[in-house]
Amino acid sequence: MRARGFTLIELLVVTSIVAVLFGVALERLLKYQEMAERAALEQNLAAMNTALALKFAAYVTAGRGAEVANEAGKNPVALLARPPENYLGELYAPEVSGLERRSWYFDRQSAELVYLPHRRRYLSSASAPPDSLRFRIALLPQTGDASGLRVLQQPFIVAKTPFVWSIE
């Protein structure tokens, strides 16, 4: 009479297949989590840039377009109707190692908006994956065109150190 059940070799083959599938699924999950973090970062930056554009439009319509230069060095999160859920507030030169990852804060000492990325596998800058991403409000230079029309400076948020978050 033949015994029913798995042989040891069949069990090892099934276990190894499950382990490989689990490894592939985990890699995809981590990649998707980093893609979600990048999308959240870009969404928050887009909301702040929109708020800056609205503030600029309010200055221009009030006839105070030159006052837009006062926005440089200010906290752009203050322009939002509601700050992001992961916004820690305005801090003065905090110790980054004690702060929660995936968080924003405004560094009052350097007047920069800082994001602390959690996953940095696909994040790179000039030297190495950055520990934090720093942003500030910059002004487009005031220009004029051939017809003599003057283009006012417009504020926008720019990264202090250029970075690339490339996930394929």
SS3 91: strand
Q: Which pLDDT belongs to residue 126?
A: 78
Q: Where are the domains of the chain?
A: 9-165
Asked if residue 147 has pLDDT above 80, the reply is no
pLDDT in tens, 90-143: 999 888 888 999 999 999 999 999 999 998 888 888 777 788 899 998 887 666
Q: If you average pLDDT over residues 37-42, what whole number do you get?
A: 92
Q: Which pLDDT belongs to residue 72?
A: 82
Nearest to 154 by CA among 165, 136, 139, 164: 139
Furthest-apart CA atoms within the chain: distance in Å? 100
CB atoms within 10 A of CB 10: 10
pLDDT in tens, 15-24: 999 999 999 9
Residue 156 — pLDDT band, cuts 50, 70, 90? confident
Give this prediction's pTM: 0.80
